Amino acid sequence: MQNLNRTAFSGLLRLLIALAVLIFVPLGTLNYWQGWVFLTVFFVAALAITVYLMKKDPALLARRMRAGARAETEKNQKILLKLAEVVFVAIFVLSAIDTRFGWSVVPLYGVIGGDVLVATGFFIVFLVFKENTFASATIEVDTHQKIISTGPYALVRHPMYSGAIIMLLGVPLALGSLWGLALVVLMTALIVRRLRLEEDFLVEHLSGYQSYQQAVKYRLLPLCW
């Protein structure tokens, strides 16, 4: 348990440092309050979720730490996640470069709104973790896994992806960039592709998933899709 917690904390710290590098190096200065506010919001939200999982669901924490292209077993998923990792990095770099050279201007309320979107995305992810102990970072089905149709899963079939997209939409705005949103559109397309592959997998391997699809019509956005 202690090893898991140490690994989780160190992983979160490394992520925070990596994000700081992606933001401040392209920007060429540390005098960038938008970046510091964003990192604070991101760190506090991620830390809160990590501590919650440490105390309430360490098994889920362990599952979530097995993430990324290397953790996937299917070739298509490996390729998809490698692309997503590149685009994720590019969102931060482009947003910082945009701000550095003044290609676009985001007013104060837009920056604050971006941070609110980031926090909202994290909150949705928290609700997912609270409801579903099987919310793995890879596409797999646990031996004892069952259909979850309560909480956010009563509204959409993939609330984790919904939260991720909301958070990603907030990132460029929080960093003062509009051009970064173009890459968020690309990332959303990758998420949708992953979602479709995941649904095909769940229909085949998770008993009752087709019935759940019929009961909950929407994948990402209630009343839309």
Model confidence at 103: pLDDT above 80? yes
Q: Is the pTM of this model over 0.85?
A: yes
Res 202: pLDDT:
87
Structural domain count of the chain: 1
Model confidence at 88: pLDDT above 90? yes
Domain annotation covers residue 224: no
Residue 167 burial (10 A CB sphere; 0-12, 13-18, 19+): buried
Model confidence at 201: pLDDT above 90? no
Domain annotation covers residue 223: no
Domain annotation covers residue 137: yes
Res 60: pLDDT:
85
Domain annotation covers residue 171: yes
Closest CA to 161 of 140, 180, 135, 181: 135
Closest CA to 153 of 120, 130, 178, 121: 130
Average pLDDT, the chain: 90
- Token pair for 160: 């984790």
Domain annotation covers residue 221: no
Domain annotation covers residue 145: yes
Q: Containing domain of residue 197, as a range?
A: 2-215
pLDDT digits (tens, 9 = 90+) for 154-176: 999 999 999 999 999 999 999 99
Model confidence at 75: pLDDT above 80? no
Domain annotation covers residue 182: yes
In this prediction, residues 184-198 reach a mean pLDDT of: 93
Model confidence at 136: pLDDT above 90? no
Model confidence at 200: pLDDT above 70? yes
Res 182: pLDDT:
97
How far, in Å, CA of 120 to CA of 104, rounded?
Answer: 24
Domain annotation covers residue 225: no
Residues 6+ apart with CB under 8 A from 93: 22, 26
Res 157: pLDDT:
93
